[in-house]
Structure 1
Amino acid sequence: MAGDKELDVTLSRSESIRSTVHNFSPLHEFAFVFVVCMSQFMTQAALGTVLAPLDIISDSFGITNPGISSWLIAGYSLTVGTFILFFGRCGDLFGYRSMYIIGFVWFAVWSMIAGVSVYSNTLLFIFARTLQGLGPAMLLPNGLALLGATYRPGKKKFMVFSLFGATAPNGSVCGAVIAAIFAEFAWWPWIFWSMAIYCMVLAGLAVLVIPSSPAPARGMSARELLWETDIIGATLGITGLVLVNIAWNQAPVVGWHVPYVYVLLIIGTLILAGFFVWEIKYASNPLIPFETLNIDVSFILACVACGWASFGIWIYYFWRFLEDIRMKSPLVAAAEFAPPTVAGLIASFTTGILLGKIRPGWIMLMAMMAFTIGNVLSAIDPVHQTYWALTFVTLIIIPWGMDMSFPAATVVLSNAVGRRHQGVAASLVTTVVNYSISLGLGFAGTVEAHVNNGGKTFHDRLKGYRGALYMGIGLGVLGLATSLVYLIKSRPRANEEKTLSEEVTE
């Protein structure tokens, strides 16, 4: 009965939003889709804004250790990945629109503080960047939930979700270009101050164009809210993920021989084990409904984890290769990153068409191939080769991995969990994507630190970067193998479904 009641609430929420959207003018609908897609755009833009001027920002704080520099990226992705599930549940309770607006306001506040940290020290900047990630953690699941609740299954929904995915590479490139301009021709704190201003503008637009959604939390007691939000599960899950991630990203900075690194890893792993025990056996409203997650979902999430960890390694070390090895300025490097904006759009709309024609498993296979090939080409890219050879080809291929894997995974999970847990499906995908980026950087940083002989010379740094990219290749190959196993395993069922469909048609 509780499940039926929860389903009724979910369905009534979806119908409420859909009925409002049916009254939209074309301009209003365009503005609605634009504002929601900005959640993905700004999430990746905040990644690109540090990638391009990383050396400039590091120099201003006196950072010389590459491991500490990587924290400027990893800290942000860490909080994005670890808090998505919790904020997705908050959206279910307090309303998607409210959480979405709060997300942009929070994003703006901590972007402002990240810029102000120029007057302080590295610790405040890393702290601000880490807390800045809570904004996208609120935006992504609730933005996806708004789109899911607004559009019924069909071609239009496929295209809208593909457009949402297409903003990822465009956001990253635009963020990098704007950051490079500010860093080279003005002052790098304006990168974050301008981001804060834009986030506040988007928060205002969200107030105007996003329809209100029901907030079941109204009228609940504090005790009921604690159980509905699964605060115990959220605390265990977030704490465990954070400790494991800190261990892997701190190890390249201080070394694995330092006791607190592996102690954090052990404690984090034990807490994560406690999270799974709590969620499966004791939680009345678990953050993750494990009973609905079948073996197909496990395969898909494993593919996404490997692919996006591979991507996280690629995006960081390919920027390092361009700026530190080829000695490109941030603005020139950002200009060279222009191809993903076009390739990403083509990949997204191609995926939107393919999702209605072939199984998502095939799309996931192609995505893993793109991630793997992109890392291979980057790892073997000669230092003095022309941009139009391997570098250009790499930048054309990589966006296909991003913009094929995300919608394919979302569709598979959406179909697997049913209508009651659509928000969970979207949250799980975005959690795995962003957490894997951060964790992948930790893996690659450990490899880099062990092969670069301290990184004192040009050739040692190049050796370290290539070693990290080889780690990205390994993760990509693992994702490729996993997607192949998934395809082989799901083939008999796909044939049965096809036969059943033909019999119904006859």
Structure 2
Amino acid sequence: MLRASANSMTYKSKAPQRSSGRSNSTDETARPTENELRRLESQVSIVETFSLGREILFICVICMAQFMTQGALGNCLNLLHVIGDTFSITNRGELSWLIAGYSLTVGSFILVFGRFGDVFGYKKMLIIGFAWFSIWSMVAGLAYYSNHILFIFARVLQGIGPAILMPNGLAILGATYGPGKRKAMVFCLFGACAPGGCVAAAAVAGVIVHGDPERWPWAFYSFAIVLAAIAGLAFFVIPDPPKRVSTEDMPLSEVIAQLDLLGAAVGVLSLVLINIAWNQAPIVGWGTPYVYALLIVGLALMPMFFFIELKMTSHPLIPFHALSAEVAFTLGCVACGWACFGIWIYYTFQFFQLLRGASPLLTAAWLSPVAVSGALAAVTTGLLLQRIPPSLVMLLALTAFTVGTALVMTAPVEQTYWYQTFFCVLIMPWGMDMSFPAATLILSNAELRRFILLLAPSLQRN
């Protein structure tokens, strides 16, 4: 997981020292000690060893973790009813599983795989994440020749890819850049890729099915090919920063303790059961015994998870010791804001296609301002945070979430796109791209910053 900026991992210079030409006695008093040399070397961040071209390529590869994560949401959202027609799914509750299956695993596993990166290495986990994401994206396309059960299964396993990518991509950024404005701007760019990735993938999917809806598997095939290419590129471009936890000569029991496998298993199972019950209830009804049974078990496991984290594990996934009223309020703001965006993006697609009759291609065109507005919001936020308090930036972000949602909520079906819906599409990305960096600055504790960076994407999906 991501370390505090003040503790960014650094490049160790191995250039030999020059001879000063002084006498031995003078050298012994003037020459820095070994500890002083290490302190000087630690001021050189990894990115300072990159050429400009390599740095640009590095940023692009890392940002693709965010871009493709949101892209897998956008392409399926845009093709939701096309895929539903192929599999003869008429129940809208059942149709929602095509999206919910992916979101379920992204949100449930993101903290767990952040810890895996700490132990096994961020670069290794990043490459595994891209490869895994690619494989199951391909399987989702191949499900065209089978049934919707295989498609949902593939989407569920596809979501593990982003759960690996997001925390480890963020960790590599934090390890590569030293503290300063440059690092803050790179994190803003990472956040800006979220709306752009969603819209770009939706646009590609719209182009693929234009004129022939049965070509929709190619939206997933092409997605898988791009992911495989990024995995190969990451092997050569991404540096391999030191692991946060050294596992050399560490017994297996200690590795398991570092991973907090018991807490992770209980926490993930709790989230999965609650999500399954919540998504299945609209399909079969809350009165169905297995629905409320899953919900009860999931809720019962939640306090067990907190007990394990607080009392049993030596390396908890959540930094409870650093929580306070201010922290809880900040987390609440981020939770409400990003959950609001998740609801907005799903129902805006439905509003455009079901009520206004837009095709997938036209839907992508109507949402395209999100990409431009999101990029502008990221750059503006980076500049604002240098001039105004992050609490004010957070207030602006929550205002954007509120106004954007209100605009689409009150938009008449027969109204032209260029009135309320156009402006809501412009405004909503500002909520995402302003709340993300503002929250990390408000939470001054290193562990909490790392936690919020990991938690934000899962809040949007759960």
Same fold (TM over 0.5): yes
Give deviations 1:235-267, integer Å, cap 9, x for gaps. Answer: 011001111111111111111111211221111
The answer to which of 90-99 and 18-27 deviates more is 18-27
The answer to which of 221-230 and 421-430 deviates more is 421-430
* Residue in 1 that maps onto 2:378: 348
Distance (whole Å) between structure 2 residues aligned to residue 236 and residue 14 of structure 1: 35
Following TM superposition, by how much is the alpha carbon of 1:425 offset from its aligned partner in structure 2, in angstroms? 4.0
* Residue in 1 that maps onto 2:83: 57
* Residue in 1 that maps onto 2:459: 432
Q: Match for 1:204: what amino acid?
A: G
Distance (whole Å) between structure 1 residues aligned to residue 403 and residue 46 of structure 2: 45
Alignment of 1:102-501 (within 5 A): 102-185=128-211, 187-215=215-243, 216-413=246-443, 415-416=444-445, 418=446, 423-435=450-462
Give deviations 1:130-189, integer Å, cap 9, x for gaps. Answer: 110110101101111111111122211111111001111100100100011112245111
Distance (whole Å) between structure 1 residues aligned to residue 351 and residue 206 of structure 2: 16
* Residue in 1 that maps onto 2:31: none
* Residue in 2 that maps onto 1:28: 54
The answer to which of 220-229 and 15-24 deviates more is 15-24
* Residue in 1 that maps onto 2:124: 98
Distance (whole Å) between structure 2 residues aligned to residue 15 and residue 254 of structure 1: 56
CA contact 2:340–2:460 (8 Å) conserved in 1: no
Give deviations 1:334-379, integer Å, cap 9, x for gaps. Answer: 1111111111111111111112222222222211111121111111
Q: 1:412 to 1:434 in 2, by over 3 A?
A: farther
Following TM superposition, by how much is the alpha carbon of 1:21 offset from its aligned partner in structure 2, in angstroms? 2.4
Secondary structure of residue in 2 paired with 1:108: helix
Q: 1:71 to 1:268 in 2, by over 3 A?
A: same
Distance (whole Å) between structure 2 residues aligned to residue 132 and residue 430 of structure 1: 16
TM-score for the superposition, normalised by structure 2 = 0.88
Q: Match for 2:454: what amino acid?
A: S
Distance (whole Å) between structure 2 residues aligned to residue 19 and residue 403 of structure 1: 26
Secondary structure of residue in 2 paired with 1:22: helix
Following TM superposition, by how much is the alpha carbon of 1:40 offset from its aligned partner in structure 2, in angstroms? 0.5
Give deviations 1:59-95, integer Å, cap 9, x for gaps. Answer: 1011101111111111111111111111000111111
Distance (whole Å) between structure 2 residues aligned to residue 377 and residue 63 of structure 1: 31
CA contact 2:107–2:457 (8 Å) conserved in 1: yes
Give deviations 1:380-433, integer Å, cap 9, x for gaps. Answer: 1111111111111111111111111122223333x22x2x67543422333333
CA contact 2:400–2:431 (8 Å) conserved in 1: yes
* Residue in 2 that maps onto 1:467: none
Distance (whole Å) between structure 2 residues aligned to residue 271 and residue 96 of structure 1: 30
Percent identical residues: 53
CA contact 1:304–1:409 (8 Å) conserved in 2: yes
The answer to which of 181-190 and 92-101 deviates more is 181-190
CA contact 2:267–2:302 (8 Å) conserved in 1: yes
Give deviations 1:266-288, integer Å, cap 9, x for gaps. Answer: 11111011001110111111111
Distance (whole Å) between structure 1 residues aligned to residue 362 and residue 49 of structure 2: 46
Secondary structure of residue in 1 paired with 2:152: helix
Q: Match for 1:145: what amino acid?
A: A
Instruction: Tell me which structure has the larger Cα radius of gyration.
Output: 2
CA contact 2:192–2:433 (8 Å) conserved in 1: yes
Q: 1:223 to 1:296 in 2, by over 3 A?
A: same
Following TM superposition, by how much is the alpha carbon of 1:12 offset from its aligned partner in structure 2, in angstroms? 7.8
CA contact 2:45–2:178 (8 Å) conserved in 1: no
Following TM superposition, by how much is the alpha carbon of 1:111 offset from its aligned partner in structure 2, in angstroms? 0.3
Following TM superposition, by how much is the alpha carbon of 1:217 offset from its aligned partner in structure 2, in angstroms? 2.6
Secondary structure of residue in 1 paired with 2:49: coil
Secondary structure of residue in 2 paired with 1:101: helix
- Please, what is the CA RMSD of the aligned residues? 1.8
Distance (whole Å) between structure 2 residues aligned to residue 295 and residue 307 of structure 1: 18
Distance (whole Å) between structure 1 residues aligned to residue 366 and residue 239 of structure 2: 39
Q: Match for 1:428: what amino acid?
A: L
Corresponding residue pairs, total: 425
CA contact 1:371–1:398 (8 Å) conserved in 2: yes
* Residue in 2 that maps onto 1:78: 104
Q: Match for 1:434: what amino acid?
A: R
CA contact 1:145–1:426 (8 Å) conserved in 2: no
CA contact 1:57–1:188 (8 Å) conserved in 2: yes
* Residue in 1 that maps onto 2:38: none
CA contact 2:8–2:175 (8 Å) conserved in 1: no
CA contact 1:88–1:424 (8 Å) conserved in 2: no
Distance (whole Å) between structure 2 residues aligned to residue 199 and residue 170 of structure 1: 16
Distance (whole Å) between structure 1 residues aligned to residue 188 and residue 270 of structure 2: 32
CA contact 2:188–2:382 (8 Å) conserved in 1: yes
CA contact 2:440–2:449 (8 Å) conserved in 1: no
Distance (whole Å) between structure 2 residues aligned to residue 37 and residue 348 of structure 1: 13
Give deviations 1:292-315, integer Å, cap 9, x for gaps. Answer: 222222111111111121111111
Q: Match for 1:135: what amino acid?
A: G
CA contact 1:410–1:429 (8 Å) conserved in 2: no
Distance (whole Å) between structure 2 residues aligned to residue 136 and residue 102 of structure 1: 10
TM-score for the superposition, normalised by structure 1 = 0.81
Distance (whole Å) between structure 2 residues aligned to residue 256 and residue 15 of structure 1: 56
